[in-house]
Amino acid sequence: MQKIDEKRLISKALAAMENAYAPYSNFPVGACALTSDGEEIMGCNIENASYGLSMCAERVALFKAHSEGKKDIVALAVAAKVDEPVSPCGACRQVILELAPKATVYLSNKDGSKVKKMTPEELLPYGFTL
Ligand code: THU
């Protein structure tokens, strides 16, 4: 079993957050997915003037990873500028369950001082599958 450097992964998510494009919500989010090979794939939320086209940080990271053939995701860190650990939206929970089912998910606050560690199944019990 691969040792996950939780603090490093969270600091990568916090760094990714700095690239967020969130002029409408002013709610930047960062994420970092870790593969079984030790690769780190970062993502941030990217909004659009046509609001519904906006994409969350978690999905950017997971879609980037999968589109590059990096499919064995062992961990995913998510961070936002909030006092308590960020809570992923329902859509991201559904995508995490499917694309990173074995991942340990680390949910961080604004500086990594408060972190929740969860499984995809805990984030989305009885999630939809085909
Ligand atoms: N957001 C994420 O990036 N991840 C989440 O899990 C929750 C919401 C983004 C979407 C939007 O750009 C902003 O946060 C406010 O909803």
Query: From the CA of 4, how far away is ligand 1's center (Å)?
Result: 25
The 10s digit of each residue's pLDDT in 16-44 is: 999 999 999 999 999 999 999 999 999 99
Contacts of 63 (CB under 8 A, 6+ apart): 43, 99
Domain ranges of the chain: 6-123
Q: What is the mean pLDDT of residues 102-123?
A: 98
| Nearest Cα residue to atom 1 of ligand 1 | 56
What pLDDT score does 2 carry?
Answer: 79
Residues near ligand 1 with C-beta < 6 Å?
22, 25, 27, 29, 45, 47, 54, 56-58, 88-89, 92
Question: Which atom of ligand 1 is nearest the CA belonging to 56?
Answer: 3
- Considering the domain delimited by 6-123, tell me its CATH architecture: 3-Layer(aba) Sandwich (3.40)
Q: Which amino acid is located at 35 in the chain?
A: T
Q: Which residues pair with 105 in a beta bridge?
A: 76, 118
| Nearest Cα residue to atom 14 of ligand 1 | 27
H helix or E strand, kind and range, residue 93 = helix 90-99
Q: How far apart are the C-alpha atoms of 98 and 116, rounded to whole Å?
A: 20
